[in-house]
Amino acid sequence: MRIGLAVLTLAAIASGCAQDDSGRIPAAGGQQPLDAPPARALDSYASKLRGAHAVRVAAAQRWGLRTVPLTAPSAPARKPRIRTREGFEVDGHRRLNLPPVFTTVPTRDKVVFLTVDDGVEKDRAFLRMMSDLKVPYSAFLSGYLIKDDYRYFERMQGLGVALNNHTLRHRYMRGLPYRTQKREICGMQRLLERRYGKRPTLFRPPFGSYDRATLRAAKACGIEYVPLWNEEVFADHWEYREGDNRLRPGDIVLTHFRGRAQWQGTMPDMIRRFLNKVTAEGYAVGRLEDYL
């Protein structure tokens, strides 16, 4: 719809610029007449917009979506201030300046953020689908689950996906000694840097479980944010943290690298369920890192 309006607007501008008998556009205020190329440039731009929209329509049809996913707004020039969600604090959270733990990004943009955890399933169709549809997402990876196919996630990174920290061995962190937790988090930082050239600043504790030692260790390892989630989507259903079972602007949505061995469906099945719902409710999918 946004592309269609842009095309109509550009077409109106182009058609409203009347030409004289010489094929040139008279200028206002007695200035020298303007040549026709600006109108042709507008026509060309409008054609490109129509072409890009046609590609998105074809991709949506190819992957079995009910409608074309909405385009997210540009990344905010001024990033929202991220604070720990009430009830998710640990003792000394603010005093120690520990990373914020949150489930929703404060924004008025009607966007949600898709995050995918662990790395069990390496579904090539999922990569093709997300690339075709131009849908952003963030990956949170565990070392022992990605070691059998580092190149899969290298390809994912090449498509613009941020690869974030989900610990080395996906252990239940709460209650573990500080040193053990630090090995899990810092060890994954080193692995991601060695394999993919970058240490992330986002960390998600396995099972969403953490304590003060977890956040202290995360900070020591260079982590700045600990995003959890407000909804979880599967191949055959949704689950919600809030009792009203509805999406909110800025919500973080969790899913996993899973296939038929674990789910009643594939990762493309899950993405269809996810996109059909968020699009029908008027939400676009944003890139989480753009808001942090």
Is 73 within a domain? no
Same domain, 267 and 137: yes
Residue found under tokens 């939400």: 283
Is 72 within a domain? no
| CATH at 206 | 3.20.20.370
Q: In the chain, where does DSSP find H-type helix? A: 2-16, 37-62, 124-133, 143-146, 150-158, 178-196, 212-220, 267-280
Terminal C-alpha separation, the chain: 28
Number of structural domains (the chain) is 2
Same domain, 41 and 130: no
Alpha-carbon separation of residue 139 from 3, 51, 157, 200, 246 (angstroms)? 29, 30, 9, 11, 23
Is 119 within a domain? yes
Same domain, 12 and 90: no
Same domain, 136 and 10: no
Same domain, 99 and 53: no
Same domain, 266 and 190: yes
The token pair at 112 is: 């949600």
Return per-residue pLDDT of the chain as tens, 292 residues: 444 444 444 444 444 444 444 444 344 444 445 455 666 777 776 777 777 788 889 999 999 999 999 999 999 999 999 999 999 999 999 999 999 999 999 999 999 999 999 999 999 999 999 999 999 999 999 999 999 999 999 999 999 999 999 999 999 999 999 999 999 999 999 999 999 999 999 999 999 999 999 999 999 999 999 999 999 999 999 999 999 999 999 999 999 999 999 999 999 999 999 999 999 999 999 999 999 9
Q: Among candidates 131, 81, 147, which has minimal Cα distance to 292? A: 81
Is 74 within a domain? no
Report residue 271 CA to chain centroid gap: 13
Is 258 within a domain? yes
Distant-in-sequence, close-in-space partners of 24: CB < 8 Å, separation ≥ 6: 33, 34, 35, 36
Same domain, 118 and 38: no
Task: For residues 221 and 19, give the distance between their C-alpha atoms in angstroms, rounded to a whole number.
Answer: 65
Is 77 within a domain? no
Range of the structural domain that residue 240 is part of? 83-291
Pairing verdict, β 111-118 and 138-141: parallel
DSSP 151: H
Neighbours of 11 (CB within 10 A): 14
* Whole-structure pTM value: 0.85
Pairing verdict, β 238-240 and 231-233: antiparallel
